[in-house]
Amino acid sequence: MQVLHVDCANGVGAWKLKAIAPLLAEAGLALDLRNTGEGVLNGACGSDFLQKDKQLPQSFEDITAGTRCDAREVVVGKASGNARSDSV
């Protein structure tokens, strides 16, 4: 199973990703959610921090390059009887 390490930036995207994580796991993608709300919104994390400060977000020191993303940039769709997609 592939693992996607996600910086949720202590924002609301973490809640949605926690909810859809089981569906993604069924499809072969495990989520490793970090910065899920224990800290200040975008405090030393998030895409703005990464872009402006040119540093890894907090709690990402052990992650290799090329495996990070920001939760607000993830869009997931699931085909069912009713066409539907969930955005984060």
Count of residues in the chain: 88
Please give the residue that has the higher pLDDT: either 55 or 72. 55
How do residues 14-69 score in pLDDT, each as one tens digit? 998 999 999 999 999 899 999 999 899 999 998 888 888 888 888 988 877 766 56
